[in-house]
């Protein structure tokens, strides 16, 4: 059976399944969750935590290998403005399969549960569109001015609450620049600096006061770049949810109303027995 057929039938090839299993170190995260939560809440200039050597290096090497070459893929975005020079995937558009799977694992329910416990944000959810997240890359001369991120999702009733960045830069020389700077409002200098070293992750909240960026043009060699993957985490927007309308059906055709009325008179167990019989017959036909 081909891999395509397996995928269509909802099966995952065993090799790829084992790769997914090693993407996130859930046992370590759970064991260290209280210590990480304490570090997150005590950090300055605002809550954040830097986690080194969290992931399997082989996993991150494969994610890094999924970055494009010199030609920017269709669907990616190139920014060259007064505030930033970089290129990014448009969410998961143009993200190859392995990096795609890694990003989805960072949005899995076990990882979300861990984030809720570490940050105290109990209603965290993932964004299926990965708006603003995905693969990010900056080259020599690139920068990102200090800024506070947008918080309202442009398409979904969600408010952005957290940023997670995972750096993929082996043998990065800190003299090349590219360190993430965390600033408090009104400050004259960064309150913390996070060099973009390989297998380093940084988690911090998204508010009007969590200023960050790497404002100085990078000095890395022309053949090197600052690579990372990022995921944003969200909470439902109560006001947007309140503005939403429930599904509303028109009366329907007379024939369907009669069918619905007749169905309401039949005990639910009759439908369960019918479905069970159908499944049994289908299974018998497959074995034949």
Q: What's the confidence (pLDDT) of residue 101?
A: 95
Q: What's the confidence (pLDDT) of residue 152?
A: 87
Contact of 178 with 218, CB cutoff 8 Å: yes
Is 80 exceeded by the pLDDT of residue 224?
A: yes
Residue 162's nearest CA partner among 229, 96, 210 is 210
**Residue indicated by tokens 């159908």:** 278
Q: What's the confidence (pLDDT) of residue 6?
A: 47
What CA dihedral angle connects 269, 271, 277 and 281, to 10 degrees? Answer: -160
Is 50 exceeded by the pLDDT of residue 186?
A: yes
How sure is the predictor about 18, in pLDDT bands with cuts at 50, 70 and 90? confident
Roughly what angle, to the nearest 10 degrees, separates helices 97-105 and 57-65? 130
Q: CA separation (Å) from 72 to 89, 100, 134, 136?
A: 9, 17, 14, 12
Q: What's the confidence (pLDDT) of residue 4?
A: 39
Q: What's the confidence (pLDDT) of residue 49?
A: 98
How many Å apart are CA 93 and CA 52, to the nearest integer?
Answer: 28
Is 80 exceeded by the pLDDT of residue 255?
A: no
How sure is the predictor about 14, in pLDDT bands with cuts at 50, 70 and 90? low
Q: What's the confidence (pLDDT) of residue 286?
A: 54
Q: What's the confidence (pLDDT) of residue 43?
A: 98
Q: What global pTM score does this model have?
A: 0.80
Q: How are beta strands 125-126 and 144-147 bridged, if at all?
A: unpaired
The DSSP bridge partners found for residue 79 are 86
Core vs surface per residue 159-178: b (16+ CB within 10 A) or e? bbbbbbbbbbbeebeeebbb
What's the mean pLDDT when you consider all of the chain?
A: 87
**What is the share, in percent, of the chain residues with pLDDT greater than 90?**
65
Of 147-156, 266-275, 278-287, least confident by mean pLDDT is 278-287
HEC letters along the chain: CCHHHHHHCCCCCHHHHHHHHCCCCHHHHHHHHHHHHHHHHHCCCCCCEEEECCCCHHHHHHHHHCCCCCCCCCCCEEEECCCEEEEECECCECCCHHHHHHHHHCCCHHHHHHHHHHHCCCCCEECCCCCCCEEEEEECCCCEEEECCCCECCCCCEEEEEEEEEECCCCCCHHHCCCEEEECCCCCCCCEEECCCCCEEEEEECCCCCEEEECCCCCCCCCCEEEEEEEEEEEECHHHHHHCCCCCCCCCCHHHHHHHHHHHCCCHHHHHHHHHHHHHHHHHHHHC
Is 50 exceeded by the pLDDT of residue 173?
A: yes
Q: What's the confidence (pLDDT) of residue 2?
A: 43
Average pLDDT over residues 115-120: 97
pLDDT, one tens digit per residue, over 22-78 is 999 999 999 999 999 999 999 999 999 999 999 999 999 999 999 999 899 888 999
Is 70 exceeded by the pLDDT of residue 13?
A: no
Is 70 exceeded by the pLDDT of residue 284?
A: no
Average pLDDT over residues 217-232: 97
pLDDT, one tens digit per residue, over 92-112 is 988 999 999 999 999 999 999
Q: What's the confidence (pLDDT) of residue 17?
A: 77
Residue 40's nearest CA partner among 215, 212, 162, 174 is 162
């Amino acid at each position: 059976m081909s891999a395509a057929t397996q995928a269509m039938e909802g099966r995952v090839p065993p090799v790829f399944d084992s790769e997914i299993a090693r993407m996130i170190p859930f046992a370590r995260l759970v064991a260290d969750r209280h210590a990480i939560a304490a570090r997150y809440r005590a950090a300055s200039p605002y809550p954040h935590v830097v986690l080194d050597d969290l992931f399997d290096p082989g996993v991150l090497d494969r994610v890094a290998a999924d970055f494009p070459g010199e030609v920017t893929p269709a669907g990616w975005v190139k920014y060259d403005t007064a505030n930033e020079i970089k290129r990014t995937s448009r969410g998961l558009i143009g993200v190859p399969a392995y990096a795609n799977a890694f990003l989805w694992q960072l949005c899995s329910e076990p990882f979300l549960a861990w984030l809720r416990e570490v940050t105290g944000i109990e209603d965290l959810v993932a964004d299926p569109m990965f708006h603003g997240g995905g693969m990010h890359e900056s080259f020599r001369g690139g920068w990102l001015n200090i800024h506070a991120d947008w918080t309202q999702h442009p398409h979904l009733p969600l408010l952005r609450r957290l940023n997670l960045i995972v750096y993929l830069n082996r043998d990065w020389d800190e003299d090349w620049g590219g360190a993430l700077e965390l600033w408090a409002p009104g400050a004259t200098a960064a309150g913390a600096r996070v060099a973009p070293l390989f297998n380093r992750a940084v988690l911090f909240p998204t508010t009007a006061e969590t200023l960050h960026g790497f404002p100085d043009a990078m000095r890395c060699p022309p053949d090197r770049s600052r690579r990372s993957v990022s995921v944003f985490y969200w909470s439902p927007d109560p006001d947007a949810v309140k503005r939403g309308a429930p599904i509303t059906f028109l009366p329907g055709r007379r024939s369907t109303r009669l069918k619905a009325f007749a169905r309401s008179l039949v005990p639910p167990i009759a439908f369960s027995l019918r479905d069970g019989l159908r499944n049994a017959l289908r299974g018998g036909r497959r074995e034949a």
